[in-house]
Amino acid sequence: MDNNSPAELQTIRVLFLAAQPGDEARIRVGEEHDKVKAKLANKPNFKFEQRLATKPDDVLEAITGFKPHIVHFSGHGTKNGEICLENETGNSKPIPPDALALLFSQATEYIKCVIVNTCYSEIQALSIVQYAPVVIGTKTEISDDAAIKFSTGFYTNLETDLTPNSFNRAFKRGCLAIQFDGNLEEHLKPVILFGSPEVRFTSEVETAFSTIPSPGTIVLKMLVRGLSLKGATMGLPLDIANSIIENKIQRLEEYKVNLSEYETNLKEALRDEFPLSETTEAALSYLQNGLGLRKEDVSIIRKKILSDPNVEGSFSWYDRGRGQIDLNNFEKAIEYCSKAIEKKPEYSGAYFERAYAYDKLQKYEQAIADYTKAIECDKYWEITSNLGLGYFYRGLSYYSIQPQQKENITKALEDWTKSIEINPNDPNTYLNRGLAYQFLRNFEKAITDYKKSLELEANSSDKLKAATVSNIVRCYAELGKQDEITKWTKRGLELLGKKVDDFNNLSKEDDFNNN
């Protein structure tokens, strides 16, 4: 008796395909279907699916979608070895042997046995067996009674062990069922064909790895050794057996990488939006197909991610808002940050990002209100925000209100002073406070802040430094200090490499909108 195959640990998928074209003689495919289904209903390790009135597209969809281990055709066959499916009008659509064989060449990962229970199907079987480990057909014409008896006998005795020997035992029982019914001739009409050692071994490898999809190092070593010995018993040279095993391991590794890529893209999509839009779902579907991922594997990934309660948690909504800000989708960012705030009303990080989005839309009053709320709560800041930045950016919003007025500039100055108290080493804050002092005509303090900014921004570009120097020159000009004007003008020229006459053309960049 054979050693049990690892396939015994899994559910065996059986696909029953039947056709009864309207322009062909009536046969009892419905009765065969019912009896096969009834036999398998008593076997808990089997899953049965059927397609009746089968058209060519149905075969393609069912095999690629259901991924059966056993495919059973029931219907008419021609003397040329064609099987008769149905066309759109319900009449006969003959399928030549080569076409069906080509389909099974794309399904070698899971197909273990193909049964073509039609008349004259040995020709089909000879084509299909190039790619399937076991194929059963009929030599000549076979009666309905004999075909049905064979199927009931076969499935009554079919084991979950999907080895060729197991199928051969079920085949013999099917033939015996015909003979026991008193039919002493037709029990010889069914024929069983076995694939080449390479085909059968490839199927054995697929079965082994399907039950141990992620073997550890030790398990993998034992598995490879066991499969190599199995290949030897099949008469397969060691180098060919090892090549088949190595190819499977490589494909498994590639598949894992592809699964990881899909999972990463799904998470990134959920960072941008929730629930996912039809456009995003369509894109993910194209990605799944392009990566060659099975539906069941993708379903596991999606269930794991979408069932996580954090997918609708406050941080997830905050993170989506941040993502939309990165894409300059400020309205959407406001929507997502608002959801984060609904989940966590004292979420300073979310208030901060929503304020930033309002500011970018030039809705400064709303921005100031949110920055104020972030500062007042002073809880749950994220990596891109903190109390000091809250004061800094609120100051920017005050400063940006047009037309600029003393009251708002004074508030901006106060915020930047608080920001400096928290973070005394930020050159941008000194620069901006210097601008506020300059606007308020407090030129001495403006100069002090500009100089401090230059001291701290050692790594800034010469162009930015020259712009700050230009502001210092203007402040000294207001104070009438000619020596300082000359001194700082020379420094600005050194930074820009320009002539003295060109210095008046220096332009101050908009430092506020670039922070």
Could you tell me the mean pLDDT of each successive run of 10 residues in the chain, 515 residues long? Answer: 45 93 89 94 91 90 92 92 92 92 90 94 94 95 94 93 91 94 86 93 86 74 89 89 90 91 94 90 95 90 91 93 93 96 96 98 97 97 95 97 96 97 96 97 97 89 92 96 92 80 47 35
- Residue 7: the pLDDT is 42
Q: What distance in Å separates the CA atoms of residue 162 and residue 134, rounded to the nearest whole number? A: 10
Q: In this structure, what is the dihedral angle of CA atoms 336, 337, 339, 341, given to the nearest 10 degrees? A: 180
Q: What distance in Å separates the CA atoms of residue 264 and residue 504, rounded to the nearest whole number? A: 53
Sheet strands side by side (includes 113-117): 46-51, 12-18, 70-74, 113-117, 134-138, 190-194
Please, which residues have CB within 8 angstroms of residue 284's CB and are 6 or more apart in sequence?
262, 265, 266, 269, 276
Please, which residues have CB within 8 angstroms of residue 312's CB and are 6 or more apart in sequence?
274, 343
Q: What distance in Å separates the CA atoms of residue 357 and residue 340, rounded to the nearest whole number? A: 14
What's the half-sphere exposure (Cβ side, CA atoms, 13 Å) at 360? 19
Q: What distance in Å separates the CA atoms of residue 121 and residue 135, rounded to the nearest whole number? A: 10
Of 311, 315, 322, the closest CA to residue 352 belongs to 322
Please give the C-alpha separations between residue 212 and each of 155, 343, 411, 474, in angstroms, as whole numbers: 27, 42, 67, 76
CATH 1.25.40 fits 443-515, yes or no: yes
Of 228, 140, 235, the closest CA to residue 194 belongs to 235
In the three-class reduction of DSSP (H, G, I as helix; E, B as strand; rest coil), residue 37 is classed as: helix
Query: Which residues face 15 on adjacent strands?
Result: 49, 71
Please give the C-alpha separations between residue 208 and each of 175, 212, 446, in angstroms, as whole numbers: 30, 7, 77
- Residue 275 preceded by cis peptide, ω within 30: yes
- Residue 504: the pLDDT is 52
- Domain 6-195 CATH class label: alpha beta
- Helix axis angle for 348-360 and 330-343, nearest 10°, is 160
* Residue/partner pairs of 295-303 with CB below 8 Å, 24 or more apart: 295/65, 297/259, 298/262, 301/259, 301/262, 301/263, 301/266, 302/266
Of 262, 208, 198, the closest CA to residue 236 belongs to 198
Cβ atoms of 204 and 223 within 8 Å: the answer is no
- Residue 403 preceded by cis peptide, ω within 30: yes
- Domain pair 6-195 / 443-515, same fold: no
CA Rg, the chain, in Å?
A: 38
Instruction: Report residue 328 CA to chain centroid gap.
Output: 25
Q: What are the extents of the domains in the chain?
A: 6-195, 217-310, 443-515
Q: What distance in Å separates the CA atoms of residue 161 and residue 113, rounded to the nearest whole number? A: 12
Residue with the two structure tokens 């979608």: 65
Report the 10 Å Cβ neighbour count for 75: 25
Cβ atoms of 301 and 259 within 8 Å: the answer is yes
- Residue 278: the pLDDT is 94
Query: Which residues face 14 on adjacent strands?
Result: 48, 70
Q: Is the pTM of this model over 0.75?
A: no
In the three-class reduction of DSSP (H, G, I as helix; E, B as strand; rest coil), residue 486 is classed as: helix
Q: What distance in Å separates the CA atoms of residue 337 and residue 182, rounded to the nearest whole number? A: 78
Of 301, 201, 194, the closest CA to residue 248 belongs to 201
Of 508, 491, 510, the closest CA to residue 500 belongs to 491
Cβ atoms of 228 and 245 within 8 Å: the answer is yes
Q: Which two tokens stand for residue 91?
A: 């009449």
Residues 38-65: b if buried by 16+ CB within 10 A, e if exposed = ebbeebeebebebbeebbeebbeebbee
Cβ atoms of 103 and 60 within 8 Å: the answer is yes
